[in-house]
Amino acid sequence: KAGVTQTPRYLIKTRGQQVTLSCSPISGHRSVSWYQQTPGQGLQFLFEYFSETQRNKGNFPGRFSGRQFSNSRSEMNVSTLELGDSALYLCASSLDTTGELFFGEGSRLTVL
């Protein structure tokens, strides 16, 4: 079956701009989580959606937001980009919150 698909894979933005990243989970998976990965910091949890509802949120500023659609596809948005937002953003889907996570290959964001 098809895996988790994230688009775009790479993007470059400048400070102050905003960006929207997309994630299509594995068919049948209703939970979608987002993580920020930067060198030396591991995977930092951003938020998790289940059946269009945000069930959990990490310690990120309000500039980071997300949503989930009825088909379980999810988007995350970062507004007023800062240099420190440069990172690999990973999306993971799962059947439930604490089960096996299936990660996409990520969207690599560079902020100049």
Strands (E), the chain: 5-7, 10-13, 19-24, 31-38, 42-50, 53-57, 64-68, 74-78, 87-94, 102-103, 107-111
The region of 20-28, 32-40, 63-71, 76-84 touching other proteins under the rule CB under 8 A is 32-40
Interface of this chain with other proteins, residues 62 to 91, rule: CB under 8 A: 90
Q: Are 49 and 68 in contact (CB under 8 A)?
A: yes
- Cβ nearer to other proteins, comparing 43 with 79: 43
Cα–Cα distance for residue pair 3/29, rounded to 1 Å: 11
Interface of this chain with other proteins, residues 42 to 61, rule: CB under 8 A: 42-45, 48, 55-56, 58
- Cβ nearer to other proteins, comparing 13 with 43: 43
The residue within the footprint of other proteins, chosen from 21, 25, 33, 93 (CB under 8 A), is 33
Closest approach of other proteins to the CB of residue 15, in Å: 26
Q: Is 83 exposed, middle or buried (0-12, 13-18, 19+ CB in 10 A)?
A: exposed
Q: Which residues sit at the interface with other proteins, rule CB under 8 A?
A: 4, 33, 35, 40-45, 48, 55-56, 58, 90, 97-106
